[in-house]
Amino acid sequence: MFPMDVRSMLKTAAVICVAALWLPRADAQVPVQKIKEAAREAKDAVTHKDQQKDAPKTEAEPAAAAGGQIVFSTVPIDPDKPENLATSFKSGEYIYGLIQVEKTWRDLLGKGNKSATKIEVPIDMLIDGETVDFQYIHIEKPEAIDSKYLVFDVAPEPDKMTAYKTPGFTYAEGKGRRKIGPDTYTFNLAEMKAGKHTVRFQVRSYGDIFSAGEFTIEGEDYKFYAELREKVLQEAFAVATMPKAGMVNKELEDEMRRLLENAGWKDIRKLVIRDKDWWLDRASGGDSPIVSRHLGAAVAAKADDGSFYWCICTFHQQRRLDGSYGPLELTHTGDKKPILEENIDK
């Protein structure tokens, strides 16, 4: 055994070696301060590891931030007065949820940005401890951004559903191109085997859980939710609209139409530029050279069978050596989504 001071010296030497490994492998001069910082970080990492080794072994579940809670009910929940809450359900019951957080969405996920016009709320769905969905609900309604709650439907009665029908909220797609919300949630519930299950939802961002809640559900089968999903999709289709224009540029819109027609599109009913400005494409991210720029446009057209659909089309312009941009190119056509003709201009 080494004396305590010798062990301390050896540990310090090891820390410095680890710090050296953490530094960038380059021929450039590295400031002494950087070496000290790396050594300190390495020492902290060693100390943290020692603390973890000596700590009691527990299987603690990630805790939500104080004040963050998700509650559930068999009836729609009033955010100002949550009542009739439940933590257990039977297969065949409707399920509604309410996410509560301790700060406004602007402060919690928007870092207090007063000019933010959209907040993305990341939500996990777990069944029996396994994550089955992770996707975002986008809040674009100003008063909702400055609220401390979010109403969300799990398995709602179709005519009482708020998801996909309330202006100011959009729902990202995940597995199987299913939208977050009752589209995905009823699908996952319908996939469960007979018996009792634990369903958990949580708002999670970069490992931090800001709100969480769970319930148990029991049944001999879960076919009810497969049938409910079909009704949910019909309800969503009846009110589905196209994205709103982010930019209005008639000359650019006409050029996009021309490119689409040259690509075989027929009977274009409507075209709007979805983005507010050009997106810059860099060679390798960061501040690397710009190689192109692009815009997305939502385009609606009439199909051969007389029905209507819309999709997002992407257009690029390559950057020239002199810094200008080349001609517009149609580079990608997204998935076609059905839409009722009467909803195209809504």
**pLDDT for 197:** 98
Question: How many Å apart are CA 16 and CA 3, to the nearest integer?
Answer: 20
**pLDDT for 289:** 95
**pLDDT for 43:** 38
CB 235 within 8 A of CB 94: no
Helical (H) or strand (E) element with 185: helix 182-190
**pLDDT for 236:** 93
Residue 184 structure tokens: 């995905």
Question: How many Å apart are CA 313 and CA 298, to the nearest integer?
Answer: 6
| Region label for 322, one of left (φ > 0), alpha (ψ between -120 and 50) or beta (otherwise) | alpha
Question: How many Å apart are CA 190 and CA 225, to the nearest integer?
Answer: 5
Specify burial of residue 231 (Cβ count, 10 A radius: 0-12, 13-18, 19+): middle
**pLDDT for 56:** 34
Low-confidence ranges of the chain (pLDDT < 70): 1-67
**pLDDT for 285:** 84
**pLDDT for 67:** 58
Kindly report, residue by residue over 113-125, the tens digit of the pLDDT. 999 999 999 999 9
Map residue 73 onto helix, strand or coil: strand
CA 69 to chain centre: 19
